[in-house]
Amino acid sequence: MHQRHLGLFTTLAIVAAIGVAIWYSTRPKPVEVTVKPVEIGNVEQTVANTRAGTVKACRRAKLSPGVGGQIATLDIREGDRVKAGTMLLELWNKDLRSEIALNESESRATMANARAACLQADVTEREAKRMLQLEGTGAVSEDAVDKSVTEAKARKADCDSANAMAKVSAARADVTRSQLERTQLIAPFDGVVAEINGELNEYVTPSPPGIATPPAVDLIDNSCFYVAAPIDEVDAPRIAVGKPARVSLDAFGKRRFPGTVRRIAAYVLDREKQARTVEVEVEFSNKADVNHLLAGYSADVEIILDERRETLRIPTESILEEEKVYVLKPEDGVLELRKIEKGMANWDWTEIKSGVSQGELVVTSVDREGIEDGAMAKQEAEKKR
């Protein structure tokens, strides 16, 4: 009888062991999840651009001569730094220079004639005054006096006419100088020559009205940059000039540049197939940050509207619809779906008013297969760098 009980016990033990082995081998494997602890920190309320913004120079001039012609002087190269007033390009203008020389000679001649006429007018005026004085003594006739006075008036008119002709000659020279200036391209400010469209002896033409053509010289002031970025029209009313901002540039990786809102456009852009946006300009707060910038860099801006300091926060990526999060309970390796109450939020962090406590682990890999309320889970091992 004893042997029979022992055999039954052994059989049951074997069956139980087999059952445990089958359960162990077929049970669902814990899903690996990435988690972040609920922590105390700062949370900012921000708005960001809807499409990539652009780094722009505070001053940029796409310059072309006012007239067409052949390039006679081109002493600059792309990348050169130039000062305001530097001659960038000059067209062939020997005809205008010769015309200016001729006009100046004519002007000098007319001025000399004007001086001679005015001297003669002074002589006749003095003679007329003497004749008027003698008329009272009866030494000269009335006709002689009248003739002298008339002569003086005529000479005075000649003087005035000669002076007028001198002014016309000087004005004609100024007109030709203005025409000469249209053949010259002068730097309007200190900057860097970004682009030159044309070579020595090539012919350049100005842009016809309504038709854009490449500029002869593209000049950029690289001492001042700002970012122009489109903000959704819904967010625009909350933005104000002077609000702090952060700028990120693809060319500089994760580095962030502090900035300030300097301008908000006075109208909404309505472009086909795109959301309506308002252009906002953000200037860089630190002058040293612009030393290595280039106009045309793509940029993103975050404008800080408000901030909560030392508040309970979780990563925004961990929050599901209907304001829920998964919490990993490390003591039993089970996921628990929790309802939370949110406060201020941005793309990175969300303020938590209730639902989780400091130190609890919230799941950030919420899109992985197998994640559900009550599922077995384990924390994913950190990858070695």
Query: Pick from 307, 325, 348: which residue ends a domain?
Result: 307
276 lies in the same domain as 198: no
Helices 94-135 and 142-181 pack at an angle, to 10 degrees, of 160
Q: How far apart are CA 58 and CA 284, in angstroms?
A: 11
280 lies in the same domain as 326: no
Instruction: Tell me if 70 is assigned to some domain.
Output: yes
Instruction: Tell me if 1 is assigned to some domain.
Output: no
On whether the CB atoms of residues 289 and 232 are closer than 8 A, the answer is: no
Instruction: Tell me if 8 is assigned to some domain.
Output: no
129 lies in the same domain as 232: no
291 lies in the same domain as 235: yes
**Residue with structure tokens 């909560």?**
308
If one counts the domains in the chain, the total is 4
pLDDT of residue 358: 94
172 lies in the same domain as 198: no
74 lies in the same domain as 208: yes
Domain housing 106? 94-182
Q: How far apart are CA 120 and CA 100, in angstroms?
A: 30
239 lies in the same domain as 291: yes
201 lies in the same domain as 236: no
pLDDT of residue 16: 65
- For residue 293, give the CATH number of its domain: 2.40.30.170
104 lies in the same domain as 174: yes
Instruction: Tell me if 167 is assigned to some domain.
Output: yes
pTM greater than 0.75 (yes/no): no
Q: How far apart are CA 305 and CA 235, in angstroms?
A: 10
pLDDT of residue 152: 81
**CB 298: neighbour CB atoms within 10 A?**
15
Query: Pick from 251, 275, 307: which residue ends a domain?
Result: 307
Region of residue 113 (left: phi > 0; alpha: psi -120 to 50; beta: else): alpha
Query: Pick from 266, 291, 307: which residue ends a domain?
Result: 307
112 lies in the same domain as 147: yes
Instruction: Tell me if 6 is assigned to some domain.
Output: no
Instruction: Tell me if 257 is assigned to some domain.
Output: yes
Residues of the chain with pLDDT under 50: 1, 23-24, 384-385
**Residue with structure tokens 């001492």?**
223
Closest CA to 372 of 23, 31, 29, 25: 31
Instruction: Tell me if 126 is assigned to some domain.
Output: yes
pLDDT tens digits for 163-211?
Answer: 888 888 888 888 888 888 889 999 999 999 999 998 998 898 877 776 7
- For residue 341, give the CATH number of its domain: 2.40.420.20
Instruction: Tell me if 15 is assigned to some domain.
Output: no
pLDDT of residue 281: 95
Q: How far apart are CA 26 and CA 149, in angstroms?
A: 134
What residues does 53 pair with on adjacent strands? 299
100 lies in the same domain as 170: yes
169 lies in the same domain as 32: no
